[in-house]
Structure 1
């Protein structure tokens, strides 16, 4: 059996496997002493570089060009920055003692992050949805997330023991200023960035791997694996899966009730249900400074893999239905599972 065929049966993203590998490396060989200091400086630099590249890549014009689809974009933004947080708060209110405060902070963190760009557009394309609308909404979600996520974190995570009171200045220095600098540099380096997107993608992914390693090194030093057991891991997995399933159902059937076309409904469902690991990990390192970041981002890393596997299966399902049926009906989520 070839590797490609094996991956079709075991849909584990290689990048997620690399992240898991960094967690294992941090567990076996965590940073200590001067290494921790150097790792902290390297992480700060990596985060600044990451958001500079995001600013250089994201075109404000592209984010605004789909203004005629404002209803579609509004539904996606409400799903990303309103529905998700409400569901997270409801889950915490119903079972506040189900998880530790750090893990609950991680679940809330998932709920306030922006959508992804690459996977949202890719899955929408595979499922024969409105790709241009998906691109505009996902890009705008990331632009909006630079401001919305820190604001939501200040309101929601402060009550869950996860938000640092000194985070405002860190947000400006490590996230906002590099992002704005990237946006301002687009006339100079925008075309170069577009030509070297593959190489810069490696920079992105390498930065995230470094952030994971340093975060979990700190967690291991503070006994992270003594703070979470198999039962709590299973509960986090279950909460992540339930959260994703509810949002997928609401965006799917809600967009039908609102009268959107099949292509638009696909874009709404895939963009409105995604959460960005690439933005989430560096944001967590800044927003949750001084906290047990390794433990807090654990729910996000699990959610990332669940959303990739679930949405890959759904996209293939919708693509098959589109080829077999030229009608306007989107396959029911219940059947897709």
Structure 2
């Protein structure tokens, strides 16, 4: 055997051995196992990022049931100051820091959009809820009267701030309009919400004489809500205007929206501590809890449908009047209108309940807060499921507009009289 032949055989042998090694590795190594576990971790992490606030709600409610003495009013940490003042001030200070001043100025002139949002939020939803409460009372439903009061308070509050902007942005909606209306609604809520509650309390059927009634002391209400809600919001806007770059950097580094949500969880925790410590929740039956959940879901769904109906205004025939097309808002605007018009805020509602019922026992405050807390949970849960559907809806509209923009330039030269004459001659 020659040297060349030996080289060829050794090379061939090595190639065969390498093939065997490759085949053995491909058959023995479980390549799919790491990828599957990685995908599961990514999915779990994505679900956690989307629903971590709901998980946080479950945790703080469990802590309130286990250790109510810690977070109750006049408890271990003096929650009436540290939480019910400190957390609310922090929430609205961060909200003011997070609102873009230029965006606020651009959207401030869109009065028609703002009017629709605030009308649905402050007029339509509270009075529809009032009609439902009167219906339950008329048919002698087996519900606690405190539940009726809690519903009226919940639907009389203003819209949320952070969750509206986040969900509108995730759905590819007009987040600038959502931010402005959230801020506007919370400022108006300082004056409108107590007025609505005072008006509803004049009905002796819903608010029976001799039961706990909110104290309509407007001076006290405006002083408390102004110092905990309005003042921090204005201060935040001033700081944002003076130091925009620095504030953006700090907001990104320290995750202002997450801090805002954590402060809100602290507020919810303190309210539940009050309710558990006073045994207020044990007075409510299972029928009360089920009714609160179902009515809250219905009211949120009704608010969403009402907002989209008014914003898009359907017409029964293909040939519609010009005023209908002029009235209709874009799908981006409609998403902002829906989220701002249908949602209710805990950060504004709970301080309102604390102020109006400051002379009542803190257990009453806990029960009155329950419909609002459940409404907030329902709107967060349903709102997150609405985001991908609304995003597809908005993207489809954008695709249709792009297709029309591509088709129209091709048709326009044919429509000109000069080109038509040339075509006719040919």
Superposition pairs of residues 165-180 of structure 1, within 5 angstroms: 165=215, 167-180=217-230
CA offset at residue 194 of structure 1? Answer: 4.6
- Taking a change above 3 Å as real, the CA distance of residues 248 and 219 of structure 1, as seen in their structure-2 partners, is same
Q: How does 1:180-329 map to 2 (within 5 A)?
A: 180-182=230-232, 183-184=234-235, 186-187=237-238, 191=243, 194-197=248-251, 198=254, 201=257, 204-257=260-313, 258-289=327-358, 290-291=360-361, 292-324=364-396, 326-327=399-400
State which structure, 1 or 2, has the greater radius of gyration over its C-alpha atoms. 2
Which among 80, 98, 117 is matched to residue 40 of structure 1? 80
Q: Cα distance, 1:323 vs. partner? A: 3.8
Q: C-alpha deviations, 1:225-245, integer Å up to 9, x for none?
A: 321122221111110111111
Contact 2:147 2:368 in 1 (8 A): yes
1:223 partner SS: coil
Unpaired runs of 5+ in structure 1? 329-337
Contact between 1:247 and 1:273, CA under 8 Å: does it hold in 2?
A: yes
Report the number of matched residues. Answer: 328
Deviations 1:291-336 (A, max 9, x none): 51211111122212221222222221122244456237xxxxxxxx
After TM superposition, the structure 1 stretch with the greater mean CA deviation from structure 2, 213-222 or 249-258, is 213-222
Note if contact 2:91-2:260 (Cα within 8 Å) is conserved in structure 1: no
Distance 1:18 1:184, change over 3 A: closer
**How far apart, CA to CA, are the structure 2 residues paired with 1:125 and 1:37?**
37
Which residue number corresponds to residue 190 of structure 2? 146
Give the CA deviation at 1:201. Answer: 4.6
Cα 1:312/1:225, change in 2 over 3 Å: same
Q: Judge which range, 75-84 or 146-155, deviates more.
A: 146-155
- Kindly tell me: are residues 48 and 240 of structure 1, through their superposed partners in 2, closer, same or farther at Cα, counting changes over 3 Å? closer
- Residue 223 of structure 1, CA deviation: 1.8
CA drift of 1:165 comes to: 1.6
Q: Per the alignment, in what secondary structure is the counterpart of residue 124 of structure 1?
A: helix
Q: Distance in 1 between matches of 2:229 and 2:274?
A: 27
Q: Counterparts in 2 of 1:151-166, with a 5 A limit?
A: 151-157=195-201, 159=203, 160=207, 163-165=213-215
1:2 is matched with which residue? 40
Structure 1 residue 83 corresponds to structure 2 residue 124:
yes
CA deviation vs aligned residue, 1:50-72 (integer Å, no higher than 9, x gap): 36616853577754532332111
Query: Are 2:154 and 2:371, in contact at CA under 8 Å, matched by a contact in 1?
Result: yes
In 2, are the aligned partners of 1:65 and 1:136 still within 8 Å (CA)? no
Q: TM-score, normalised by structure 1?
A: 0.82
Per-residue deviation at 1:180? 4.8
Give the drift of 1:79.
0.8
Q: Distance in 1 between matches of 2:154 and 2:49?
A: 22
Which runs of 5 or more structure 2 residues have no equivalent in the other structure? Answer: 1-38, 314-326, 402-426
Match of 2:424 in 1: none
Residues 51 and 175 in structure 1, CA contact (< 8 A), matched pair in contact too: no
In the TM superposition, residue 167 of structure 1 has moved relative to its aligned partner by 4.9
**Cα distance, 1:232–1:205 mapped onto 2, change above 3 Å:** same
What is residue 71 of structure 1 aligned with on the other side? 112
1:155-197 superposed Cα distances (whole Å, 9 cap, x missing partner): 2256536653265344234320344543257545763655433
Superposition map of 1:93-172 within 5 A: 93-96=134-137, 97-98=140-141, 99-157=143-201, 159=203, 160=207, 163-165=213-215, 167-172=217-222
Distance (whole Å) between structure 1 residues aligned to residue 265 and residue 394 of structure 2: 37
Q: Please state if 1:49 is matched with 2:93.
A: no
TM-score by length of 2: 0.67
| 8 Å Cα contact 1:63/1:139 also seen in 2 | no
